[in-house]
Structure 1
Amino acid sequence: MPKLLNYFKESKQEMKKVVWPSKKETTNYTLAVIFISLGLAAFFAIVDYFLNLGLEKLINK
């Protein structure tokens, strides 16, 4: 049990050392992740569409 209490004490001390991002930074990072994800999803959807189109042309020749 003392090891567990020591673990929580040390964890609490470490959490006090953390430098948390500001609200503006968090918002900017979140928006960046969302837009990059949407961009990649659109890119892969387009690539998938054209690969599928090409494959259908090869099969239906």
Structure 2
Amino acid sequence: MKKIFSYFSEVKLELSKVTWPGRQEVVRLLSLVLVISVVVAAFVGIVDFSLTKSLEFLLAK
């Protein structure tokens, strides 16, 4: 049981050393991640649609 308490006290100590980002930086980086995710999803969707239509065209004959 002593080891568990020691572990959590060490975790608390290490987390106190972490430099956490500010709210403005979090919002900026979250926006960037969302925009990139939407762009990649749109690209993958377009490629998927194009390949599906191409295969339908080739296999229909």
Q: Fold conserved (TM > 0.5)?
A: yes
- The unaligned stretches of length 5 or more in structure 1 are none
Normalised to the residue count of structure 1, the TM-score between the two structures is: 0.95
Q: Quote the offset at 1:52 in angstroms.
A: 0.6
5+ residue gaps, structure 2: none
Percent same amino acid among aligned pairs?
Answer: 43
1:54 equivalent in structure 2: 54
- Normalised by the length of structure 2, the TM-score is 0.95
How far did 1:54 drift? Answer: 0.5
**What is the distance in 1 between the residues matched to 2:8 and 2:52?**
54
User: Following superposition, which runs of at least 4 residues in structure 1 exceed 6 angstroms of deviation?
Assistant: none
Separation (CA, whole Å) in 2 of partners of 1:59 and 1:27: 47
The aligned amino acid for 1:11 is V
Letter in 2 for 1:23: R
Q: 1:12 offset after TM fit, Å?
A: 0.8
Aligned length: 61
2:9 match = 9
Matching residue of 1:19: 19
CA distance in 1, matches of 2:35, 2:25: 15
SS for the counterpart of 1:21 is coil
The letter for the 2-side match of 1:57 is: F
